[in-house]
């Protein structure tokens, strides 16, 4: 049975939703949805929660929501550990993190993911957030009817947009040749930066600069309202520097100058982050992938490419999601640069959240401890009639199967009863279909027909004959023939005198099984010996 996962980007300007239908064998992109955050004097989080409720009502009541905490409430640290055992890592992450954050460990919730493991140790990315802020975050969402299944770390979860590359050969495994990409999500109030490689986040941070600051700069420079400045930013404003369409009017030139000045703090933070990453990791950055609502500012890729000294292009979020969902069939396709932002570019964070939820792997989830998600059975209640119908169908199917089996057994029993009657008629002269009675009769008759055990065997008689016959010191006996049969024994031999024959006969009569000993004719043989025969009738079988 498939279910729907909903990744939600809790933006300050609008709420973005990405729905994935997760089945047993495949996961499909179901749709994208964007809803503006309503204006008002209420706190931003409450207005965002209202927008989520409205958006979910347009999607499906069965969708499971997943969210991410904004980076400005997180503490993200990269930890180097001298071992790779996951159990040891789990035990020491808290102690290592405590020395690098300003809050006490009891006041935060933290989680981690393994970035890299090797012979010398492992690299772990850990993330912590204050318990009070998580509690407030969840309380506001639940009060407005939204209970997220997980709370990911916004700057880190972008790693799910990066597909793991095939394993490198031994001669290509040099770290100097490894390349990374920078995912730059420019939002309304903040910009998320995540450096990824092979499906792992190597560095992540949130910069509190975004489209709001650009709009404010335009409004101040032209002494206009915020709303008019926003319209100008989305319509006429563009960054110069491209030869295709140079700046032609004074307004365009002034807008270009205002935007460059407003973007300077953001660019400075990005350059510092990239420099720090290069110094610590020695990795080579291949390109900057631009996404987010503010990322659609005209001329931004060329401007960032010039400022950062790196190739800059838009991140095709929909294509990345489809490739992550069908990696096996898309591995050989070239990664072509995207020149213009498409309709999916603002959905990078929501897509990353949905992909992270759908793949079921290890992710940083700060819904832990007292805030761990407890599954609700509301979906089962909604599907109660369907489940009951399925259960009834299963019971009926099992009943039919058992009934058919019993019918077959009844037919076989009737056939066996007929065979038993025929056999007993042949044996006893009358039919009998009582199997136990027939078995008892057969067992009793078999015992009666069995021959009794003999009182003495032929071996026993031979032993007794050898014991009774006089020894060689008294007579000289040469046995020529000895035949021991049931009820009869025959002995033929030679002795030195006729008296010896009488003595042998007398001794054989002493054997218990022998009744009558008859001596045959005694004849003289060469050497003066006497040949004799003795026939004995025995009472033992």
pLDDT of residue 385: 73
Assign 3-class secondary structure to 253-310: HHHHHHHHHHHHHHHHHHHHHHHHHHHHHCCEEEEEEEECCHHHCECHHHHHHHHHCC
16-27 confidence digits (pLDDT tens): 999 888 877 788
Judge whether residue 102 has pLDDT over 80: yes
pLDDT of residue 170: 43
Half-sphere exposure of 89 (CA within 13 A, CB side): 22
Residue written as token pair 């909604």: 382
Better-predicted residue by pLDDT, 226 or 454: 226
- The predicted model gives 512-527 an average pLDDT of 83
Measured CA angle at 173 (ends 112, 167), to 5 deg: 70
Q: Is the dihedral of CA 234, 17, 201, 73 positive or negative?
A: positive
Better-predicted residue by pLDDT, 508 or 265: 265
Name, in order, each residue with C-beta under 8 angstroms of 499's C-beta and a sequence gap of 6 or more: none
At residue 445 the predicted structure's pLDDT band, cuts being 50, 70 and 90, is: low
How far is residue 65's CA from residue 373's CA, in Å, rounded to a whole number?
A: 12
292-306 confidence digits (pLDDT tens): 888 889 889 999 999
Q: Compute CA distances 2 → 25, 30, 378, whole Å.
A: 9, 12, 16
At residue 375 the predicted structure's pLDDT band, cuts being 50, 70 and 90, is: low
Most confident of 239-248, 281-290, 332-341: 281-290
- The predicted model gives 364-392 an average pLDDT of 75
| 66 three-class SS | strand
How far is residue 383's CA from residue 214's CA, in Å, rounded to a whole number?
A: 49
At residue 109 the predicted structure's pLDDT band, cuts being 50, 70 and 90, is: very high
Structure tokens at 252: 């365009």
How far is residue 39's CA from residue 189's CA, in Å, rounded to a whole number?
A: 15
Name, in order, each residue with C-beta under 8 angstroms of 104's C-beta and a sequence gap of 6 or more: 98
- Across 73-178, the runs of DSSP E, i.e. the strands, are 75-81, 108-118, 121-130, 151-153
Judge whether residue 184 has pLDDT over 90: yes
CB 18 within 8 A of CB 347: yes
pLDDT of residue 108: 93
Phi, psi of 78 (to 5 degrees): -105, 120
115-172 confidence digits (pLDDT tens): 988 878 899 999 999 999 999 999 999 999 889 999 999 999 999 888 665 554 444 4
At residue 323 the predicted structure's pLDDT band, cuts being 50, 70 and 90, is: low
Transcribe 419-479 into DSSP letters: HHHHHHHHHHSS----HHHHHHHHHHHHHHHSPPPPSS-HHHHHHHHHHHS--TTT---EE
Residues 465-499 as b or e (16 or more Cβ within 10 Å = b): beeebeeeeebebeeeeeebeeeebebebbbeeee
Quick one: which H or E segment has residue 409?
helix 384-428
The pTM (predicted TM-score) of the whole model is 0.67
pLDDT of residue 171: 46
**What percentage of residues in the chain have a pLDDT greater than 70?**
87
Better-predicted residue by pLDDT, 167 or 349: 349
At residue 493 the predicted structure's pLDDT band, cuts being 50, 70 and 90, is: confident
- The predicted model gives 261-285 an average pLDDT of 92
Pairing of strands 121-130, 75-81: antiparallel
pLDDT of residue 1: 60
How far is residue 504's CA from residue 42's CA, in Å, rounded to a whole number?
A: 133
At residue 519 the predicted structure's pLDDT band, cuts being 50, 70 and 90, is: confident
At residue 344 the predicted structure's pLDDT band, cuts being 50, 70 and 90, is: low
At residue 364 the predicted structure's pLDDT band, cuts being 50, 70 and 90, is: very high
245-270 confidence digits (pLDDT tens): 677 788 888 999 999 999 999 999 99
Rounded to the nearest angstrom, the gap between the alpha carbon of residue 195 and the centroid of all alpha carbons in its chain is 28
CB 209 within 8 A of CB 265: yes
């Amino acid at each position: 049975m498939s279910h729907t996962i909903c990744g939600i980007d809790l933006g300050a300007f609008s709420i973005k939703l990405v729905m994935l239908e997760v089945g047993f064998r495949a996961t499909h992109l179901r749709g994208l949805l964007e809803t503006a955050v309503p204006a008002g004097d209420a706190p931003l989080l409450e207005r965002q929660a209202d927008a989520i409720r409205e958006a979910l009502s347009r999607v499906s009541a069965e969708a499971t929501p997943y969210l991410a905490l904004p980076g400005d409430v997180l503490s993200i640290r990269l930890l180097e550990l001298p071992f790779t055992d996951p159990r040891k890592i789990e035990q020491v992450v808290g102690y290592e993190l405590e020395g690098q954050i300003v809050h006490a460990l009891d006041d935060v919730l933290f989680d981690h993911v393994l970035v890299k493991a090797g012979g010398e140790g492992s690299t772990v990315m850990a993330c912590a957030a204050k318990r009070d802020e998580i509690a407030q975050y969840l309380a506001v969402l639940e009060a407005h009817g939204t209970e997220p299944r997980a709370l990911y770390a916004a700057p880190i979860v972008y790693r799910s947009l990066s597909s793991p590359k095939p394993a490198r050969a031994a001669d290509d495994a040099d770290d100097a040749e490894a390349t990374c990409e920078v995912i730059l999500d420019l939002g309304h109030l903040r910009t998320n930066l995540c450096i990824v490689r092979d499906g792992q986040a190597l560095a992540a941070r949130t910069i509190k600069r975004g489209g709001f600051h650009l709009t404010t700069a335009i409004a101040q420079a032209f002494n206009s309202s915020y709303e008019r400045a926003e319209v100008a930013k989305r319509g006429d404003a563009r960054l110069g520097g491209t030869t295709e369409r140079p700046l032609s009017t004074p307004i365009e030139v002034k807008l270009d100058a205002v935007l460059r000045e407003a973007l300077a703090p953001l660019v400075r933070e990005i350059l510092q982050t990239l420099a720090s990453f290069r110094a610590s990791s020695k990795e080579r950055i291949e390109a900057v992938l631009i996404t987010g609502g503010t990322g659609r500012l005209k001329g931004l890729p060329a401007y960032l490419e010039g400022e950062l000294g790196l190739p800059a292009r838009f991140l095709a979020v929909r294509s990345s999601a489809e490739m992550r969902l069908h990696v096996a069939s898309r591995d050989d396709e070239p990664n072509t640069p995207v020149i213009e932002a498409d309709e999916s570019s603002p959905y990078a964070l929501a897509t990353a959240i949905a992909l992270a939820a759908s793949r079921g792997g290890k992710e940083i989830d700060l819904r832990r401890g007292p805030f761990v998600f407890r599954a609700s059975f509301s979906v089962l209640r909604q599907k109660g009639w369907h489940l009951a119908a399925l259960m009834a169908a299963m019971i009926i199917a099992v009943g039919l199967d058992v009934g058919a089996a019993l019918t077959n057994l009844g037919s076989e029993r009737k056939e066996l009863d007929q065979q038993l009657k025929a056999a007993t008629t042949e044996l006893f002269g009358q039919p009998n279909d009582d199997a136990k009675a027939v078995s008892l009769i057969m067992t009793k008759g078999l015992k009666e027909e069995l021959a009794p055990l003999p009182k003495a065997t032929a071996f026993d008689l031979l032993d007794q004959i050898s014991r009774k016959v006089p020894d060689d010191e008294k007579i000289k006996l040469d046995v020529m023939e000895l035949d021991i049969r049931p009820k009869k024994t025959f002995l033929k031999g030679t002795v030195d005198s006729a008296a010896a024959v009488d003595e042998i006969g007398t001794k054989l009569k002493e054997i218990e099984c022998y009744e009558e000993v008859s001596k045959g004719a005694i004849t003289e043989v060469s050497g003066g010996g006497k040949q004799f025969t003795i026939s004995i009738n025995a009472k033992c079988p």
